[in-house]
């Protein structure tokens, strides 16, 4: 069970890094030189990519290493 959670945390961090890189690459494009329809599509993608990607447990807690390390086992 712990291994599964660690794999999910790793995938989550991987997606965060890749989404940030994709956002940066889209911002670096000279979108104002594109055709108007392609520029509008790219602007919509930039707006969507500006929001961070989240994998959550029950739409409450993000599955990150921080939350994993902060969980205590009560007996």
Cα 30 to chain centroid distance, Å, stands at 23
Chain position carrying tokens 């945390």: 9
The H or E element containing residue 56 is strand 56-57
For every one of its 75 residues, what pLDDT tens digit does the chain have, with 9 covering 90 and above? 667 767 777 777 788 888 888 888 888 888 888 899 998 998 888 888 887 777 777 878 777 777 777 766 655
Report d(CA 55, CA 61) in Å as an integer. Answer: 8
Q: How many C-beta atoms surround the C-beta of residue 13 within 10 A?
A: 14
The pTM of the whole model exceeds 0.85: no
Domain ranges of the chain: 2-70
Token representation of residue 22: 């994709």
């Amino acid at each position: 069970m712990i291994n599964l959670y660690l794999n999910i945390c790793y995938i989550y961090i991987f997606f965060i890094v890749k989404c940030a890189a994709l956002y940066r690459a889209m911002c670096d494009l000279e979108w104002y030189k594109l055709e108007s329809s392609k520029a509008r599509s790219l602007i919509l993608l930039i707006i969507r990519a500006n929001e961070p990607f989240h994998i959550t447990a029950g739409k409450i807690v993000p599955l990150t290493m921080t939350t994993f390390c902060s969980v205590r086992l009560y007996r």
